Amino acid sequence: MTDNLLILPVIIQLVIAVVSLFFWSRTSYQRISSIIGNVIFLAVSFILFFHVKENGIMVSQGGDWQAPFGITFVLDLFSASMLVITGLSGLAVSIFTAGSMSRRRALFVFFPIYHFLLLGISGSFIAGDLFNLYVWFELIIIASFGLITLGGGRRQLEGALKYVTLNLVASTLFLTSIAFVYGLTGSLNLADLAVKIPEVENQDLVSIAALLFFVGLGIKTAVFPMYFWLPASYHTPMSAISAIFGGLLTKVGVYALIRVFSLFFLPDSFAGTVISAIAALTLIMGAMGAFIQKDVRKVFSWLIVCHIGFMIAGLGIFSTVALAGAVFYLFHDIIIKTNIFMVSGLLYRINGAHTFKFIGGLYEHYPKLSFLIAIPLFSLIGIPPLSGFWPKILLIEGGIQGFDYFIVGAILLGSFVTLVTIGKLWITAVWSEQKSVNYVKHFIHFTQLSKIQRFAYVFPIALLSVVSLFFGFGAFWMLDIANRIAEELMNPDLYIQSILQTQ
Amino acid sequence: MTTLILKTAATYLMPLILLFSVFMLLRGHYLPGGGFIGGLIASIALVVYGYANRIDRIKQFIRFHPGILIPLGVSFSAMAAILPLFFNQPLMTGLWLSGSYPIIGNIGTALLFDIGVYFVVVGATLTVIFSIAEENMKN
Give residue-wise pLDDT tens across range B3-49. Answer: 889 889 988 999 999 999 999 998 887 888 889 999 999 999 998 88
Test mutation, B91, B95, B96, B120, chain A, max A CBs within 10 A: B91
Domain that holds residue B92: 4-138
* Of residues A15, A17, A24, nearest to B67 (C-beta): A24
Q: Report the C-alpha gap between A287 and A293 in whole angstroms.
A: 10
| Phi (first) and psi of residue A129, to 5 degrees | -145, 135
Q: Residue A153 has what pLDDT? A: 73
**For residue B102, is pLDDT > 90?**
no
Domain that holds residue A194: 3-500
* Confidence grade of residue B99 (pLDDT, cut at 50, 70, 90): confident
- Global pTM reads 0.93
Rounded average pLDDT over A247-258: 92
Q: Give the angle subtended at the CA of A407 by the CAs of A402 and A410, to the nearest 5°.
A: 155
Number of domains, chain A: 1
User: B50 vs A153, which has greater pLDDT?
Assistant: B50
User: Would you tell me the crossing angle of helices A296-317 and A405-426 to the nearest 10 degrees?
Assistant: 160
Q: Residue A64 has what pLDDT? A: 83
Number of domains, chain B: 1
Rounded average pLDDT over A202-213: 90
Q: Residue B1 has what pLDDT? A: 59
* Confidence grade of residue A215 (pLDDT, cut at 50, 70, 90): very high
Q: Residue A1 has what pLDDT? A: 55
Residue A498 carries which side chain, given as an amino acid letter?
Answer: S
Residue numbers of A between 194 and 233 with CB closer than 8 Å to B:
none
**For residue A208, is pLDDT > 70?**
yes
% of chain A beyond a pLDDT of 90? 59
Among residues A295, A248, A302, A220, the alpha carbon closest in space to that of A92 is found at A248
Q: Which residues touch A239 (CB under 8 Å, ≥6 apart)?
A: A100, A297, A341, A342, A344, A345, A348
Residues linked to residue B59 through DSSP beta bridges, in sequence order: none
Is B71 in Cβ contact with A18 (below 8 Å)?
A: yes
- Asked if ipTM goes beyond 0.95, one says no
Q: Which residues does chain A have within 8 Å of residue B84's beta carbon, measured at their own beta carbons? A: 64
Is A15 in Cβ contact with B78 (below 8 Å)?
A: yes
* Of residues A5, A21, A61, nearest to B71 (C-beta): A21
Rounded average pLDDT over B67-74: 91
Q: Residue A264 has what pLDDT? A: 87
pLDDT digits (tens, 9 = 90+) for A114-151: 999 999 999 999 999 999 999 999 999 999 998 888 87
Q: Which residues touch B123 (CB under 8 Å, ≥6 apart)?
A: B66, B67, B68, B69, B70, B72, B73
Which contiguous run of DSSP H or E holds residue A29? Answer: helix A27-55
**For residue B93, is pLDDT > 90?**
no
